[in-house]
């Protein structure tokens, strides 16, 4: 999936993976998770292609609250029906197959979700205390799962490659501050190392990623370099912190702002990368309105450039998705859909056949067939307990209901 939804904390990014060992200081805590080493099958047949597994049940009435597509056909989803379920589609969202591990319940809005590719997926289900949880991992597209106890429950979860993972765990928030703890894994989630925390009540606490500020996103470009974003009521500050050693140490990264904008407040979202090219989504709280823009990088996030004074780059609040380093979409849910073909330097306004005002929860686009793009729009759950999923294959002009 190559998309990001405004105000959604979790971030799913396809990145350049590297299988280097994580650099961890000598005083970090090794927290091995006890786990079930025997994969739990959902199907009795394991040799035929996925679609031949006829014993994988079809969910004919999913209530999707999360989706992540890897290409025009393959995608993953989280459904909130009953005790929740993990779903997979191989036909672009028309049919959803239930690949939930046997006995797993409690899947819902608090479920963590990291999709690396079609086959590699991690699902984090918090325990009732929300400080611990169970991590489920599949290496074969959901046919089998392995479970591990995790030393965190609510967390931003990301795997930049098949064995390296990061979790930014929520350790409590209040009065504009949030305590977090950073974990690393180098064995695909079987065990985790605590490498950072900013809890002032702990002797190993660090202030390089400050306690102040509510953290809203995390992105790792590789096994060393990553970012945490957030917000606090400070004029002229972009809450963007970078690490170069896998989350052990952090420093605030400077973002150039026009002089006339230094009295405004900002809320960045987790960066999105396509190789060394990337975007930093930035919400700007102006004196009488709220606007959205994107800063960009072409050197792996070493520097970010943007110009909020350029009206061609400013957008209303909404949801956004990028399919590659040039093509992006921004939708406020009405019939106005903004499209960029030059990496967010300019945006053109198109009119769609679909109005999802006040209902849209997620927007996503991926490269399609014959040089085009395929997109999906997901609504929130309505008063009747249903969500709707729509699909487009013509750059967002016309949409078809997959789940009406």
Cα–Cα distance between 237 and 250 in angstroms, integer? 16
Place of tokens 């609040």: 317
**Looking at residues 307-333, what average pLDDT do you find?**
95
Task: Calculate the average pLDDT of the chain.
Answer: 88
Please name the helix (run of DSSP H) or strand (run of DSSP E) that holds residue 336, with its range, or none.
strand 336-340
**Looking at residues 176-182, what average pLDDT do you find?**
97
As a whole-number percent, the residues of the chain with pLDDT over 90 amount to 83
Spell out the residues 6+ positions from residue 43 whose beta carbon is closer than 8 angstroms to its own.
53, 55, 56, 143
The confidence score (pLDDT) of residue 369 equals 81
Helices (H), 288-370: none
Place of tokens 């900013």: 198
**Looking at residues 342-367, what average pLDDT do you find?**
96
Q: pLDDT tens across 183-222, in order?
A: 999 999 999 999 999 999 999 999 999 999 999 999 999 9
Give the distance, in angstroms, between the CA of residue 90 and the centroid of all CA atoms in the same chain: 21
| Confidence grade of residue 43 (pLDDT, cut at 50, 70, 90) | very low
Residue 20 has pLDDT above 60, yes or no: no
Closest residue by Cα to residue 3 from 307, 361, 310, 303: 361
Q: pLDDT tens across 112-135, in order?
A: 999 999 999 999 999 999 999 999
Q: pLDDT tens across 270-319, in order?
A: 999 999 999 999 999 999 999 999 999 999 999 999 999 999 999 999 99
Helices (H), 283-378: none
Tell me the two tokens of residue 169. 């765990």
Residue 6 has pLDDT above 70, yes or no: no
CA 308, 313, 317, 322 torsion-angle sign: negative
Q: pLDDT tens across 219-255, in order?
A: 999 999 999 999 999 999 999 999 999 999 999 999 9
Give the distance, in angstroms, between the CA of residue 391 and the centroid of all CA atoms in the same chain: 20
Whether domain 319-404 has CATH 2.40.10: yes
Encode 167-206: b = buried (16+ Cβ within 10 Å), e = exposed: bbbbbeeeeeebbbbbbbbbebbbbbbbbbbbeeeeeeeb
CB atoms within 10 A of CB 52: 11
The confidence score (pLDDT) of residue 338 equals 97
| Confidence grade of residue 68 (pLDDT, cut at 50, 70, 90) | very high
Cα–Cα distance between 123 and 99 in angstroms, integer? 12
Encode 87-100: b = buried (16+ Cβ within 10 Å), e = exposed: bbbbebbeebbbbb
CA 231, 232, 234, 239 torsion-angle sign: negative
Please say whether the beta carbons of 84 and 78 come within 8 A: yes
Tell me the two tokens of residue 273. 């990368």
Please say whether the beta carbons of 282 and 264 come within 8 A: no
The confidence score (pLDDT) of residue 56 equals 87
Cα–Cα distance between 404 and 398 in angstroms, integer? 15
Place of tokens 């999936």: 1
Rounded alpha-carbon distances, angstroms, from residue 142 to 70, 79, 85, 89: 15, 15, 12, 11
Tell me the two tokens of residue 134. 């169970």
Cα–Cα distance between 296 and 307 in angstroms, integer? 10
The confidence score (pLDDT) of residue 50 equals 54
Please say whether the beta carbons of 346 and 313 come within 8 A: yes
Pairing of strands 177-185, 191-197: antiparallel
Q: pLDDT tens across 159-173, in order?
A: 999 999 999 999 998
Most confident of the following: 29-38, 61-70, 364-373? 61-70
């Amino acid at each position: 999936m190559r998309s990001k939804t405004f105000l959604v904390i979790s971030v799913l990014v396809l990145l350049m993976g590297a299988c280097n060992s994580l650099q961890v200081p000598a005083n970090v805590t090794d927290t091995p998770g006890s786990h079930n080493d025997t994969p739990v099958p959902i199907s009795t047949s394991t040799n035929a292609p996925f679609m031949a597994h006829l014993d994988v049940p079809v969910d004919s009435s999913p209530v999707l609250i999360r989706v992540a597509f890897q290409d025009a056909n393959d995608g993953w989803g989280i459904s909130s029906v009953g005790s929740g379920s993990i779903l997979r589609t191989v036909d672009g969202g028309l049919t959803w197959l239930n690949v939930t591990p046997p006995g797993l319940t409690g899947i819902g809005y608090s479920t963590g979700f990291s999709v690396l590719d079609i086959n590699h997926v991690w699902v984090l289900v918090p325990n009732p205390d929300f400080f611990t949880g169970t991590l489920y991992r599949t290496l074969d597209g959901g046919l089998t799962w392995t479970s591990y106890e995790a030393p965190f429950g609510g967390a931003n979860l990301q795997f930049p490659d098949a064995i390296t993972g990061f979790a930014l765990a929520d350790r409590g928030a209040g009065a504009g501050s949030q305590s977090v703890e950073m974990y690393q894994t180098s064995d695909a989630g079987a065990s985790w190392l605590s490498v950072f925390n900013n809890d002032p009540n702990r002797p190993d606490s660090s202030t390089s990623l400050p306690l102040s500020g509510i953290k809203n996103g995390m992105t790792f470009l590789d096994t060393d370099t990553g970012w945490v974003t957030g917000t606090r009521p400070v004029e002229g500050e972009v809450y963007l912190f970078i690490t170069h050693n896998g989350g052990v140490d952090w420093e605030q990264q400077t973002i150039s702002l026009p002089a006339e904008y230094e009295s405004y407040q900002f809320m960045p979202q987790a960066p999105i990368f396509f190789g060394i090219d990337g975007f930093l989504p930035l919400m700007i709280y102006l004196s009488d309105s709220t606007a959205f823009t994107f800063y960009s990088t072409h050197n792996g996030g070493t520097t970010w450039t943007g110009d909020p004074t350029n009206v061609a780059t400013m957008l209303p609040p909404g949801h956004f998705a990028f399919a590659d380093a040039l093509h992006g979409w921004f939708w406020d849910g009405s019939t106005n859909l903004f499209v960029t073909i030059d990496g967010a330097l300019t945006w053109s306004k198109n009119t769609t056949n679909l109005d999802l005002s006040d209902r849209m929860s997620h927007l996503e686009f991926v490269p399609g067939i014959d040089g085009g793009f395929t997109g999906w729009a997901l609504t929130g759950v309505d008063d009747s307990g249903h969500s709707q999923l729509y699909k487009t294959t013509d750059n967002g002009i016309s949409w078809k209901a997959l789940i009406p």
